[in-house]
A and B are shown apart, each in its own frame.
Chain A
Amino acid sequence: MSWESIIPNVLAGDSQSLAGTAPVAAMDNEQFAAFYARSARSLWAYLARVSRDPGLADDLTQEAYVRFLCAAHPQDGEVAARRYLFKIATNLLRDHWRRPQSSSIDDVPEHTFAAASGETHSDSVAILGPAMAQMRPRDRQLLWLAYAEGYSHHEIAQITGLASASIRLLLFRARRKMARLLRSGGEA
């Protein structure tokens, strides 16, 4: 007896026949491919810049999309879907940091990432790497979401799980510190 005979289409991945087992996917293959093409690079940039580890960003980007497809993601448009994707990625990053590691994420030398990125195009961007290295991971997350992705405080609260009221203060402090680091050439 096979699973196919017990549950029709289970091996065909038909989520419609598995109500309550797997969430209904709103996207078909082509829709997902288009969404992936529009969002994957910015998600990778977020993960790479916040974690300062391009290899980890590769892994977490893939995992975030797989979880996104397996979960019951928001049906109200691409903006909400994108925000949900960033939330998954943020949780994956947090889980990664919580796991015991042989070396801290903050021990990863910034030049590894800078060398890979070839960021010599702009002075401020060249300085951004060392400056980011001196920020706490949470501050890096907040700064990237606010100033690279342009999310509002409310959206950042949804993505990070922090209280909306505290985002303003945390972001203000992080921005002030980052500006000071950028003006001083990335040195503390």
Chain B
Amino acid sequence: MSPFTCAREREVSDLLHNGHWPQACPADLRDHVASCRSCSDLVLVTGSFQVSRRLTAELPRLEPAGAIWWRAQLRRRNAAIEKVSRPIIGAQIFALAMTLIVIAAIAVWQFGNWSAWFADFPGTLHLGALIPPSFSENGFLWIIMPAIATIALLSGIVAYLASEKQ
């Protein structure tokens, strides 16, 4: 026998859970329950909880089963889509990272050639022939003029897009 239970507690518990207490309980067991603290606790607590369970179970206004079924389907679908999306996003990040690395590597490798090419660029296109002598004396205008031209071009594009939207 366990130090926490009475030897006859199993009998009492079976009667309680089968709904046979107290009508179908033998007289000797009923006498035992009256004198045994452990068994009387069991009867009191089980009786209270069983009645409480019956009464409490009448209370809820339950959501329809179909709504819960639909919500579970939705969650499973979202989980499936998320699981499929994860490797695709990973592959995209990997591809982007590899592209940046390759570009950076080429830039470092070819830096000397590109800087020389950019330095020779005006001479290659003979741009000096298109610029008046006064401009070529002032190197600052080389920057100002293309900047003004770019702003004018972009302003035209923005004005066109704005009118297009309206």
Contact = CB atoms under 8 A, between A and B. Distances in A.
Given A62-B68, A147-B49, A179-B45, A10 B80 contact: yes
A49 B60 contact: no
Given A172-B4, A179-B44, A179-B45, A10 B81 contact: yes
Interface stretch (B27-35, B71-79, B128-136, B141-149): B71-79
B11 interface: no
B16 to A, nearest CB: 8
Contacts of A15: 76
B80 A48 contact: no
B44 A54 contact: no
A41 interface: yes
B83 interface: yes
Greatest chain A CB density within 10 A among B2, B58, B59 is at B59
Contacts of B49: 128, 143-144, 147-148
B4 A65 contact: no
A119 B53 CA distance: 11
**Interface magnitude class on chain A:** 35 or more
Contact of B60 (A7, A11, A44, A183): A44
B8 interface: no
Contact of B65 (A37, A124, A172): A37
Contact of B59 (A48, A143, A168, A183): A48
Contact of A41 (B57, B77, B79): B57
Nearest to A22: B76
Interface residues of B, number: 41
Contact of B50 (A33, A57, A147): A147
Contact of A178 (B45, B53, B75): B45
Q: Which 10 A-B pairs have the closest CB atoms?
A: A69-B72, A179-B41, A172-B4, A41-B57, A45-B56, A147-B49, A33-B65, A148-B53, A148-B49, A36-B65
Given A10-B81, A144-B49, A172-B5, 9 more contacts: A3-B81, A10-B84, A22-B80, A40-B60, A41-B58, A62-B71, A119-B56, A147-B50, A183-B44
12 contacts: A3-B81, A13-B77, A58-B60, A61-B60, A61-B62, A69-B72, A119-B52, A121-B55, A124-B51, A128-B52, A148-B53, A179-B40
Interface of A: 3, 6-7, 10-11, 13, 15, 18, 21-22, 29, 32-33, 36-37, 40-42, 44-45, 48-49, 54, 57-58, 61-62, 65-66, 68-70, 116-117, 119, 121-122, 124-125, 127-128, 143-144, 147-150, 168-169, 172, 175-176, 178-179, 182-183
Interface of B: 2, 4-5, 17, 40-42, 44-53, 55-60, 62-63, 65-66, 68-69, 71-77, 79-81, 83-84
